[in-house]
Amino acid sequence: MVPGPGGFPTHGLHVVADERLLVPPFSLAVGQVRNMDLADAEGRIVGDVANVIADPAGRMVAVTVAMGSALGIGAKEYVLPLGYVRHDGGRLMTILTAAQIEKLPVLND
């Protein structure tokens, strides 16, 4: 099931500021995950990770994917739950398409 705009609660989520903390599913530090490419299931780069997101209890639950601009200007940050992301070598991959990601909630929209 692909989360829709209302399918992932975004209330109370916040950006993880400490770049040294480990993102559990990847065993990588927050600072290593930021700016990583995000590829779809076919290996096409669809965006890059802008931030790691935690819930009110401090659990890392999502990343934001910057999409919509080649230079980052005007790009939107879509909130992608970690359950849809895996680490594959030097990049992150998702089972979602770019069109599906663009239907996810936008951070601070």
Domains detected in the chain:
14-101 (2.30.30.240)
What per-residue confidence (pLDDT) applies to 5?
45
Q: What integer best gives the mean pLDDT of the chain?
A: 87
Instruction: Give phi and psi for 64, each to the nearest 5.
Output: -105, 140
Mean pLDDT of 35-59: 93
Mean pLDDT of 48-53: 95
Which of 106, 109, 94 lies closest to 2 in space, CA to CA? 94
Give residue 93's pLDDT band: very low, low, confident or very high (50, 70, 90): very high
Say if residue 15's pLDDT is above 60: yes
Strands 91-94 and 28-29: unpaired
What per-residue confidence (pLDDT) applies to 72?
54
Say if residue 74's pLDDT is above 80: no
Say if residue 36's pLDDT is above 60: yes
Mean pLDDT of 76-99: 93
Tally the C-alpha atoms within 13 A of residue 90's C-alpha that lie toward its C-beta.
0
109 compared with 42, residue with greater pLDDT: 42
